[in-house]
Amino acid sequence: MPEKTIESFTVQRLDILDEKGIADESLMPSLSDEDIKRMYELIVLSRTFDQRALNLQREGRLGAYPSLLGQEASQIGSAFACEKSDWVFPSFREMGVYITLGYPPHMLYQYWAGDERGLKISDNVTIFPLCVPVGTQIPHAVGAAIAAKYRGDKIGIVTYFGDGGTSKGDFHEGFNMAGVFRLPVVFICQNNQWAISVPREKQTASKTLAQKAFAYGFEGVQVDGNDIFSVYKATKDALEKAKRGDGPTFIECFTYRMSDHTTSDDATKYRSKEEVDAWKQKDPILRLRLFMEKKGLWTEQYQKDIEEQSTLIIDEAVKEAESIKPPHPEEMFAYTYEKLTPRQIKQMKGF
Amino acid sequence: MPEKTIESFTVQRLDILDEKGIADESLMPSLSDEDIKRMYELIVLSRTFDQRALNLQREGRLGAYPSLLGQEASQIGSAFACEKSDWVFPSFREMGVYITLGYPPHMLYQYWAGDERGLKISDNVTIFPLCVPVGTQIPHAVGAAIAAKYRGDKIGIVTYFGDGGTSKGDFHEGFNMAGVFRLPVVFICQNNQWAISVPREKQTASKTLAQKAFAYGFEGVQVDGNDIFSVYKATKDALEKAKRGDGPTFIECFTYRMSDHTTSDDATKYRSKEEVDAWKQKDPILRLRLFMEKKGLWTEQYQKDIEEQSTLIIDEAVKEAESIKPPHPEEMFAYTYEKLTPRQIKQMKGF
Amino acid sequence: MPKVNMVQAINLALKEEMQRDKSVVILGEDVGKDGGVFRITEGLIEQFGTERVMDTPLSESGIVGAAVGMAIYGLKPVAEIQFMGFIYPTIDQLFSHAARIRSRSRGRFTCPIVVRTPYGAGIKALELHSESTEALFCHMPGIKVVVPSSPYNAKGLLISSIRDPDPVIFLESTRLYRLIKEDVSEEEYTLPLGSARIVQEGKDVTLIAWGSMLHRVLQSVEGVDAEVIDLMTLSPFDEETVYKSVKKTGRVVIVHEAPKTCGFGAELSASIAEEAMLYLKAPILRVTGYDVVMPLPKFEDYYMPSVERIRKAIEEVMKY
Amino acid sequence: MPKVNMVQAINLALKEEMQRDKSVVILGEDVGKDGGVFRITEGLIEQFGTERVMDTPLSESGIVGAAVGMAIYGLKPVAEIQFMGFIYPTIDQLFSHAARIRSRSRGRFTCPIVVRTPYGAGIKALELHSESTEALFCHMPGIKVVVPSSPYNAKGLLISSIRDPDPVIFLESTRLYRLIKEDVSEEEYTLPLGSARIVQEGKDVTLIAWGSMLHRVLQSVEGVDAEVIDLMTLSPFDEETVYKSVKKTGRVVIVHEAPKTCGFGAELSASIAEEAMLYLKAPILRVTGYDVVMPLPKFEDYYMPSVERIRKAIEEVMKY
Ligand SMILES: Cc1ncc(C[n+]2csc(CCOP(=O)(O)OP(=O)(O)O)c2C)c(N)n1
Ligand SMILES: Cc1ncc(C[n+]2csc(CCOP(=O)(O)OP(=O)(O)O)c2C)c(N)n1
Ligand SMILES: [Mg+2]
Ligand SMILES: [Mg+2]
């Protein structure tokens, strides 16, 4: 139909650091050498954590566990852009985010071993407990942003979810409210191309996920999710925009789930080795290392040192997690309500 | 951020018949004089139905009732584009759609008087019962489209909802599935600018509603919802596209709710007389009449005749609705399951 | 003391709590300029502004989900769901989240939200405008369920609900909104959650009801030495008051408008059968809505527990 | 006859019904190539193609809503919800629509859908992977609720559920999926919905259970002359079988893993207290999960009704 155009959009994509470790200097965010090394060390630590979790699971020392392998740049790059006062609402795969924000690794192991005490976040870390029902944390971030705005707190709220999460009604209702109230939220989608066995193109027919933001009257951008500088820059800019009062931003981190969905899954059933291999070239750690090497920030010795350091931290965390005494059965009742109900007291005393 | 563009969209708007009754002939759909007169007569009949409903409600002969005043072009224009074999999933304000599709008016009165027997649709009308929970009918249309496609039936599925309905999770989940499976659905939003007291711009921050379709990988278009030719053409084209297997379309009919939300509402509490008056100029019936007059299809006598005719039909419908005997109490149990449960049988026999 | 109806009493409770505590905010559909479809929030947006009385998009799950986030951050949101028939899309946020925030975070975070919603039949309304599915919410540990039966207790219970540190579903009978007026103090007062009230003492039979059914029960007990309990809080319910009464009377009739099967009457009856069996002289009877889809107005009177049906049940248990 | 586990039996039922009736189709998350996270739909996409075994986006409400639309159009969709903890967002489509399609259209349209979902604890799973909230669905007239307890009855009940003209929630115990093998005929057979089964006859006490708890009950009744009822269909439940047994034994213990308050045990107990009170020799006891948020694995064993707790309840009622 010949009609008149009443609105138009373009979806942008940000790439800074390529697979060879070469950065587009014109786009490069301001990061000190120390920052960059810290980022690298957090990737190594997260990967060490993750690898150990998979081992522990195999040995029956953890329950089902979702690996973050391949998504380190998306997680650490974005979390690194957060300030202490910002709030984070993660999904369930964000161990890299937790670690970057200073969450004690032993508590993560404790949680994945089936002990909810691992989620008792200390008061100075404003990251919310893991969220298992996909996408349902998005309205929480929106509500927290309403509250922060109402209180006049100049902070940003960050929430994480996957490509699968974009299909949920709560994604829609949350995004829509964020748009209407122009809230200080940064929505980060780790588009890792898979939701268990459902590939990205069967999850939604839109060419990008980023474009979904325009349905809610705010901006969406796609970034190379395996490029920590792009992720960092996009998040940093979005947080600044949020704190300026200019509303929400949606960032699609284009990345890949290198591992099985969880330890209960077998991805070879539904995806090809070729696809996985192709993504190996895009490893977020590889390109950062090449970049640092060129800048003189990386040496074999450095690598050995931080690997050792990470192993030490993780050894310690496992030991600590496993030395915690099992919870007392009465604790099962303690957090239902502020006070026990008479019926609970009766139940606690034994049938 | 300087980035590269990876996707772009434009939202189109269709206008054919202006307020003076002048049509853009280059865009005019093919409609016989008889078709146009039939459309006009359906508008008059719907308006007569609606006016009577408001009167009956005032007299306590109907329950709360949602007037369609002002939305006749959107409803009748779109329903007129449907074939007998197409399926329609309405919201709750689509009395004009029901009437256009040949639904007996007396059954509509019966329903609005609180008798569910008014919803027992005869087998040859494939319009679904009214849906009260906003937006939740959208996935039904999607499911019916999956079924029609699976069966190889070359039909279109049309579903109606309001601007408020676009905020619901089910809108999102339904639209997304329609995109993924490229289903033969035509989504019609009557954007009447209000959801009870919530104005369109507080419902969502996107400039148009039409653009929301791009989030799901298919096309959205805005049409002048008070122009029956635009609505008809957009719907007809979308239905043809659906039947060709080219997937769903979203049509935003830009219109106005001239009346209170329902008879329980008082719109003067939240919107200005000026706004309402401005929209009076855009009355869908007015411009169609001017158009027809110029074409020699409309005379004072014609108007008198069809008004009389409509009044007769509606008088008859009211009489029929009110002469129906109240349902037998046992009927309350009859449609819970195919067969009564033992407990229901006991309950029916009296406590 | 002014005589007010339940709409006014609830409005008063909201106003007082908002004055007292800046962290109390309201959100929902049409709660602002329109003052809510039942006028519960009338005048509040004028007094407290759009930041504390938020008209939201038409998004029930989003409303409760946002309320959860606000509560986590430290506010005390009072969300309105326009009718109980539209609370179903919020069940995921209520059960998967609101109920579990305290437990999941081992007390680091809490979820002091109130979800107010009009419930029940009796005003000849549309489909899904007469739901009474309170029992669903009583099966979810972590959630409290409160149902006032009069202007006076509506105010006191709502204030307690807002101050409660845990999520509360607050159900307001549409039929009662404008039915009764009562003296309601403009002074602050609260009524404790989890406590039932003996509306009338008696020796022969215990009648248990809540919300609008309480009034039907009171109409039905004439000429009977009946003890009438207004439960007020369904979850957690006041076991002690119930058992004490039942042990005294030995006969029980429970009345609710929800369908019988798995209604809250089932829990009451089962609890009594467990804890006070030896005191019972007669079967425990439930007078309830029928096990059918909540019908439209033409059937409404037939569906609802009538005075006649309640009397018949009382006569029945009195035979023993 | 091949000995198969419950996963295989359910797979068999689906395969047979899909072969028999082209209107039977499957939809859900990961039901296609992956064969479902529990492998229930393994091999079906290969046999029946992507048009009949549909991998959907991650949209529970959309899945059930689409199934409703498919059923209205004449198909017989079997929707899989990956875990019962993710069924909550579908409650709106189930209660506002699936349950009401027949009633709303006075029989012109019907909604023969089956919603299958793994339920219950016992496999040390994540949060929301061990829910057992069957009672919620029993409070909604228009919906049926079926819970098999063995491979044999899983197959027969699933076939009946698919053929049933009304919506059925079909709950599959994750703990039972691979726990027991049984002879399951590859011939077509059905088991009627709404009928319980007496697993073991006895004179002294009636035990009522369903799904995985049935097995725990069977482990607990050694040395007792107990009648054990496997309810199989919770809504509508087989009142006749229950009352007959209770009238014979005069003692009842009900076991379920859901929290006690407003669990389905409440309805059973209340029904018995209404219909068979005069036959009862002892209080009706419920052995259930506790009234707490379903805990993570470290607490799982403590949460679940144990053989010990069931024995204790039996001893208790035997005192009378
Ligand atoms: C509401 C809901 N439905 C289903 C599941 C089961 N499930 C867990 S993760 C997952 C896929 C999530 O995909 P995505 O959002 O892309 O995140 P990713 O796993 O790739 O990190 C599914 C279906 C769930 N946790 N929540
Ligand atoms: C899920 C749900 N929430 C709330 C309501 C109450 N309600 C009825 S109509 C309406 C506004 C609908 O607005 P819109 O979708 O624009 O349709 P319109 O009334 O303008 O035709 C509301 C909030 C409802 N029916 N369903
Ligand atoms: Mg993913
Ligand atoms: Mg509207």
Question: How many other CB atoms are there within 10 angstroms of residue D71's CB atom?
Answer: 28
Residue whose entry in the numeric block shows the structure tokens 């669905």: D137
| Cβ–Cβ < 8 Å for D35, D86 | no
**A302 Rama sector, left if φ>0, alpha if ψ -120 to 50, beta otherwise:** alpha
- Output the pLDDT for position B1: 45
User: Mutating which of B172, B173, B240 best tests the A interface, going by the most A Cβ atoms within 10 A?
Assistant: B172
- Average confidence (pLDDT) over D210-220: 98
Beta strands across the sheet bearing D53-55: D53-55, D24-28, D76-80, D114-119, D168-173, D144-146, D233-235
Cβ-contact B5, A14 below 8 angstroms = no
Ligand nearest to the CA of residue A164, numbered in listed order: 1
**Which chain A residue lies closest to D59 (C-alpha atoms)?**
A168
Specify the ligand 2 atom closest to the Cα of B168: 1
Other C-beta atoms closer than 10 Å to the C-beta of B208 total 21
- Residues enclosing ligand 1, CB less than 6 A? A 93, 132-134, 161-165, 192, 194-196, 257, 261; D 29, 58, 60, 82, 86
Q: Is residue B64 part of a domain?
A: yes
Residue C293 has a pLDDT of 96
Contacts with A315 (C-beta within 8 Å, 6 or more apart), sequence order = none
Tell me chain A's radius of gyration from C-alpha atoms: 21
Looking at residue A123, what is its pLDDT? Answer: 85
DSSP letters, D266-309, are HHHHHHHHHHSGGG-SS--EEEEE-SSPPPPHHHHHHHSPPHHH
Q: Are A336 and C103 in contact (CB under 8 A)?
A: yes
Contact B211, B177 (CB under 8 A): no
Q: Cα(A261)–Cα(A196) distance, rounded to whole angstroms? A: 5
In degrees, rounded to 5, the angle at the alpha carbon of residue D125 between the alpha carbons of residues D119 and D126 is 105
Distance CA D4, CA B29 (A): 63
Which residues touch D176 (CB under 8 Å, ≥6 apart)?
Answer: D6, D149, D150, D211, D212, D215
Residue D1 burial by CB count (10 A; 0-12/13-18/19+): exposed, middle or buried?
Answer: exposed
| pLDDT value of residue B350 | 75
D69 interfacial to chain B (CB closer than 8 Å): yes
* Containing structural domain, residue A91: 12-348
Within chain C, where are the H helices?
6-20, 44-48, 60-73, 91, 101-104, 134-138, 151-163, 212-220, 239-249, 264-275, 297-303, 307-318
Q: Is residue B65 part of a domain?
A: yes
Looking up residue A274, the CATH number of its domain turns out to be 3.40.50.970
- With a 6 Å cutoff on the Cβ, whether B165 touches ligand 2 is yes
Residue A1 — very low, low, confident or very high, per pLDDT cuts 50/70/90? very low
Alpha carbon separation from B220 to A221, B161, B181, D31 (Å, rounded) = 21, 15, 17, 31
Which residues fall inside 5 Å of ion ligand 4, going by CB?
B 162-163, 192, 195
Q: Is the CB of residue B278 below 6 angstroms from any atom belonging to ligand 2?
A: no
C-alpha atoms less than 13 angstroms from C-alpha of C39 in its C-beta half-sphere: 11
Does B270 participate in catalysis according to the annotation? yes
Q: What is the mean pLDDT of each run of 10 residues along chain B (351 residues)?
A: 84 97 97 98 98 98 98 98 97 98 97 95 89 98 98 98 98 98 98 98 98 98 98 98 98 98 97 97 97 98 98 98 94 97 93 51
Asked if the structure places residue A206 within a domain, the reply is yes
Contacts of C298 in chain B (CB under 8 A): 113-116, 326-327
User: CA-based angle B64:B67:B72, to the nearest 5?
Assistant: 160
Rounded distance from Cα B111 to ligand 2 centre (Å)? 18
Q: What is the pLDDT of residues D285-297, one digit of tens each?
A: 999 999 999 999 9
Min distance A254 CA to chain C CA atoms (Å): 27
Separation between Cα atoms, residue D266 and residue C265, nearest integer Å:
9
Check if B10 contacts A (Cβ < 8 Å).
Answer: yes
Answer yes or no: are the C-beta atoms of C9 and C151 closer than 8 Å: yes
Q: How many whole angstroms separate alpha carbon A317 and alpha carbon A113?
A: 13
D307-320: per-residue pLDDT in tens?
Answer: 999 999 999 999 99
Q: Does B343 lie at the interface with C, CB-CB under 8 angstroms?
A: yes
Asked whether residue A305 is domain-assigned, the answer is: yes
Q: Residue D275 burial (CB < 10 Å; 0-12/13-18/19+)?
A: middle
Phi, psi angles (nearest 5°) of residue C289: -60, 160
Q: Is residue B184 part of a domain?
A: yes
Q: Answer whether residue C71 shows pLDDT above 80.
A: yes
B40: which 2 tokens?
């006009």
- The catalytic position among D129, D139, D215, D256 is D129
| Ligand in nearest proximity to the CA of A168 | 1
Cα–Cα dist D124/D191, whole Å: 31
> Which chains contact B through at least 3 pairs of Cβ atoms less than 8 Å apart?
A, C, D
Q: B114, C298: Cβ pair inside 8 Å?
A: yes
pTM as predicted: 0.98
What is the least distance, in Å, from the CA of A254 to any CA of chain B?
13
- Tokens representing B4 are 């590269």
Give B176's contacts (C-beta < 8 A, 6+ positions apart).
A167, A204, A205, B216, D57, D59, D62
**Nearest by Cα to C229 from C275, C177, C265:** C265
Angle at B210 between CA B208 and CA B214, to 5 degrees: 115
Q: d(Cα C270, Cα C277) in Å, to the nearest integer?
A: 10
C266: left (phi over 0), alpha (psi -120 to 50) or beta: alpha
Give the position of tokens 């003391």.
Answer: C1
Tell me whether residue A85 is in a domain: yes
Distance CA(D150)–CA(D242), nearest Å, equals 20
DSSP B101-114: TT--HHHHHHHHTT
Residue D2 reports pLDDT greater than 90: no
Average the pLDDT over A50-60 and give the result: 98
Q: A179: distance to nearest CA of chain B, Å?
A: 5
**Does the residue B1 lie in any domain?**
no
Terminal C-alpha separation, chain D: 45
ipTM score assigned to the predicted complex? 0.98
Residue A312: C-alpha distances to residues A102, A108, A319 (Å): 16, 16, 11
Dihedral angle computed from the Cα positions of residues C81, C82, C86 and C89, in that order, rounded to the nearest 10 degrees: -30
For chain C, domains (ranges, CATH) are 3-183 (3.40.50.970), 197-318 (3.40.50.920)
Q: Touching C: which chains, 3+ CB pairs < 8 A?
A: A, B, D
pLDDT digits (tens, 9 = 90+) for A215-240: 999 999 999 999 999 999 999 999 99
Q: Partners for D (CB, 8 Å, 3+ pairs)?
A: A, B, C
- A257, part of any domain: yes
Q: SS3 for B158?
A: strand
Q: D102 and D127 in contact (C-beta within 8 Å)? A: no
- Among residues B145, B151, B215, B154, which one has the least CA distance to residue B182? B145
A182: nearest CA partner in chain B? B205
pLDDT for res A2 = 53
Closest CA to B288 of B13, B94, B15, B18: B18
The answer to whether the Cβ–Cβ distance between A2 and B27 falls below 8 Å is yes
In contact, D232 and D146? CB cutoff 8 Å: yes
Task: State in Å: Cα A201 to ligand 3 middle.
Answer: 11
CA distance D212 to chain C (A): 20
Task: Give the nearest partner residue to A11 out of B6, B11, B206, using CB atoms.
Answer: B6
Pinpoint the alpha helices (H) of B59-114: 72-80, 95-100, 105-112
* C-alpha to C-alpha distance for C220 and C287, rounded to whole angstroms: 12
Alpha helices (H) along D24-92: 44-48, 60-73, 91-92
Report the alpha-carbon distance of residue B142 to residue B314 in Å, rounded: 34
Q: Could you read off the pLDDT of A92-123 as tens digits, one per residue?
A: 999 999 999 999 999 999 999 999 999 998 88
Q: What is the pLDDT of residues D54-64, one digit of tens each?
A: 999 999 999 99
Domains of chain A: total: 1
